[in-house]
Amino acid sequence: MKIGILATGITPDELLGQHGSYADMFVQLFNQADVCFEYEVFEVRDDHFPASAEQCDGWIITGSKFNVDENRGWMQQLKELILEIDGTGKPLVGICFGHQIIAEAFKGKVEAFDGGWGVGLHSYQLSGENSFIKNDVGSFTISAMHRYQVTEKPVNARVFAESDFCKYAGLVYGDNILTFQAHPEFNVSYETELVALRKGEVIPDDTADIGLASLRQEGAATDSVQVAGWMADFIRQQA
């Protein structure tokens, strides 16, 4: 099964050599979850788009340093591709920026959150319709790195994960689109280095310190491998 990774961003230069690109992180995560996909990466932020939604069996949209309200030309083209993918019924997974631009494509509202940045390890409660999750769990924890979030969900989206900080942390559209606001592909080491790198410059000191405390506490860990299994099951079922 071939998965097209629509890369809307890339790891900061200071961390790229050690941790790889965002696209690399998805491949590494699925490998850790013993999921065997083939991959093709499309650097859509550099206007490298697939010829059509039919080019791959399933799709993933990565996170990005860009905000959806910048409405760059490649973002407009990506929203058109999102609708095209949906029209084919092929599975699509969106992460962080991907979660947000999918919501925008379906007329939801995305904006800078009044509560500020969400960084570090965040836990989310499962709710609503989540039949694609086979594990008997009520919550999961993964890395967060965002100032923007979906504040009004599209009418065709269902909530499957939420928190006090992020009301629409996980959304499902129909049977073929699954999105997460936070980052299952970010491990604790990368998230720690990223928050430390952006502290003060991008992320307010006090917010960064709270995030770093969650990452540096004894036993700090994510449920990323479990979430990768959910994503893989969702993709396989809908392909």
Domain 2-238 belongs in CATH node 3.40.50.880: yes
**Tens of each residue's pLDDT in the chain, 239 residues:** 999 999 999 999 999 999 999 999 999 999 999 999 999 999 999 999 999 999 999 999 999 999 999 999 999 999 999 999 999 999 999 999 999 999 999 999 999 999 999 999 999 999 877 777 877 789 999 999 999 999 999 999 999 999 999 999 999 999 999 999 999 999 999 999 999 999 999 999 999 999 999 999 999 999 999 999 999 999 998 76
| Domain assignments of the chain as residue spans, ordered by start | 2-238
Tell me which H or E stretch contains 92: strand 92-95
Cα distances from 21 to residues 13, 14, 175, 206, in angstroms, run 10, 12, 29, 28
Spatial separation of the C-alpha atoms in residues 239 and 234, rounded to whole Å: 9
| Model confidence, pTM | 0.96
- The tens digit of pLDDT for each residue in 195-226 reads 999 999 999 999 999 999 999 999 999 999 99
Tell me which H or E stretch contains 95: strand 92-95
Sequence-distant (6+) residues with CB within 8 A of 116 are 147, 204, 207
